Amino acid sequence: MLIKYLLVMYIRIAMRKWLVYFEYNIMVILYVWSYDMVIK
C-alpha cells in the first residue's frame, strides 16, 4: 500500500515538472518565433 502511494506521488511530481518544462519550451518557441517575425 505504501509503495503504491509513493508511486502515485512520484508520478504526480514528474508530471508537474514535465508540464512546467513543456510550458517553458512553448514560451521560448513563441518568443523566438515572434522575434524572427519582427526582424523579417
2-14 exposure pattern, b = at least 16 Cβ within 10 A, e = fewer? eeeeeeeeeeeee
Looking at residue 1, its pLDDT comes to 72
Looking at residue 28, its pLDDT comes to 92
How far is 36 from 18, CA to CA, in rounded Å? 27
Looking at residue 8, its pLDDT comes to 93
> Of 40 and 21, which is predicted with more confidence?
21
Looking at residue 38, its pLDDT comes to 84
How far is 16 from 24, CA to CA, in rounded Å? 12
Looking at residue 9, its pLDDT comes to 93
Alpha-carbon distances of 40 from 10, 15, 18, 32, rounded to whole Å:
45, 37, 33, 12
pLDDT in tens, 1-36: 788 999 999 999 999 998 888 888 999 999 998 988
